[in-house]
Amino acid sequence: MSINDKKIMLSGITATGKLTLANYIGAIRNMVKLQDQYENYIFIADLHALTLPIDPQELEQNRRNIFALFRACGIDTNKTTLFFQSDILEHGMMNWLVLTNTTIGELSRMTQFKDKSSKVKTANGMETIPTGLLMYPTLMVGDILLYNADIIPVGIDQKQHVELTRNLAIRLNNKYKTNFKVPEPYIPEVGAKIMSLTEPTKKMSKSDKNEKSSIYLLDDPEKAYKKIMKAVTDSEGKIYLSDEKPGIKNLLTIYSALTDKTLEQTSELFADKNYGELKQAVGEEVKSFLIDIQAKYAEAMKHIDEEAKIGAEKARKVAHKNLEKLMKGMGLNNASK
């Protein structure tokens, strides 16, 4: 237990692009909800952003945007330690200690690795896949263990990585007599997997090259409304919940999440309506949500440097203490410390 006896919540978002509504609904919304109950660590995963090639200027801009968007969405620095991952050098060291306790088989079986590597694989096969993509999960395991977290709010796509963390916590505890907690993923009931607006069988992703597939939190609200109006659905014309109707289900899910309703309540609400009416209602909700956070975003941008410094100082102490425990267990008990 931590000093104040609260359990620990930890989560991060990769600085690979502009934050989407899916990142908000799948993860940030729960981080905000859990803030009062837990001791919280939230970070901008800028080291994770290096797993695929990224332009340095773009990375710098992404990381600042995400910091300010966390604040605009309701992450409160009085309740949460908010920081940049790369400010805490312990993350890199922890990654090495963790990955030397895994196998290539274990990492190459991860679904995200398979999905993302299949997109970059060319005629040379494995040889062109960036090593960082394979190591993404071990870096994430390290992130979680460094803060000895109990609960990890994430979308469903990250569940497997939290499961790997659970396995690693147990493995390390057995091998090295550490006492890492075995963390639980915290996945929303509504919105664990928001789908692409143009291909509703694929998840919405901030790294998707097609800007029409995603609602970005910094999209012009009118433009976002239009993207919803153009969302791909089906030709049946009837509104009901079904996995055979992924486009409609996605719109019902977005509406439910933004209005705090269950999926059943929303589908009843729209049962007698047509697709145009549903899209209009979802579009309006999205628009007013974006207007609200964008107003707060501008103010948040002004305070990033000072807030990130305070966050890093707090995070570093905790990370260092947990790293040392593992180093000691592994036989790396340095005399020079």
Q: What residue ranges bind ligand ATP (CB under 6 A)?
A: 13-14, 16-17, 20, 22-23, 25-27, 154-155, 157-158, 191-194, 203-207
The residues that bridge with 10 in the sheet, in sequence order, are 41
Residues 6+ apart with CB under 8 A from 307: 67, 71, 77, 82
What is the closest distance, in whole angstroms, from the C-beta atom of residue 317 to ligand ATP in the complex?
25
Q: Let me know if 296 is a catalytic residue.
A: no
Nearer Cβ to ligand ATP (216/270): 216
Nearer Cβ to ligand ATP (162/172): 162
117 appears as a binding residue in the annotation? no
How far lies 305's CA from each of 70, 82, 262, in Å?
14, 11, 39
What is the closest distance, in whole angstroms, from the C-beta atom of residue 331 to ligand ATP in the complex?
34
What is the closest distance, in whole angstroms, from the C-beta atom of residue 262 to ligand ATP in the complex?
17
Closest CA to 62 of 15, 20, 22, 14: 15
The span from the CA of 9 to the CA of 31, in Å, is 8
Backbone angles phi, psi at 252, to 5 degrees: -65, -35
Beta strand 80-84 with 39-45: parallel, antiparallel or unpaired? parallel
What is the closest distance, in whole angstroms, from the C-beta atom of residue 116 to ligand ATP in the complex?
7
Residue nearest to ligand ATP (CB): 26
122 appears as a binding residue in the annotation? no
Two tokens at 156? 């469903």
18 appears as a binding residue in the annotation? no
159 appears as a binding residue in the annotation? no
Closest CA to 115 of 101, 129, 95, 98: 129
What is the closest distance, in whole angstroms, from the C-beta atom of residue 246 to ligand ATP in the complex?
12
Q: Let me know if 206 is a catalytic residue.
A: yes
Nearer Cβ to ligand ATP (62/267): 62
14 appears as a binding residue in the annotation? yes
The span from the CA of 199 to the CA of 15, in Å, is 23
206 appears as a binding residue in the annotation? yes
Long-range contacts of 102-108 (CB under 8 A, 24+ apart): 102/138, 102/168, 104/134, 106/164, 107/134, 107/135, 107/137, 107/138, 108/134
310 appears as a binding residue in the annotation? no
Nearer Cβ to ligand ATP (28/315): 28
Q: Catalytic one among 206, 227, 249, 279?
A: 206
The DSSP symbol for 28 reads: I
How far lies 34's CA from each of 151, 202, 223, 319, 332, in Å?
10, 28, 31, 21, 36
What is the closest distance, in whole angstroms, from the C-beta atom of residue 51 to ligand ATP in the complex?
9
Nearer Cβ to ligand ATP (52/168): 52
Nearer Cβ to ligand ATP (86/158): 158
Residues 6+ apart with CB under 8 A from 27: 11, 13, 153, 154, 155
Q: Catalytic one among 18, 181, 203, 287?
A: 203
Annotated binding site: 14-16, 143, 155-157, 194, 203-207
Annotated binding site for L-tryptophan: 143
Q: Would you name the residues annotated as active-site residues? A: 116, 203, 206
Annotated binding site for ATP: 14-16, 155-157, 194, 203-207
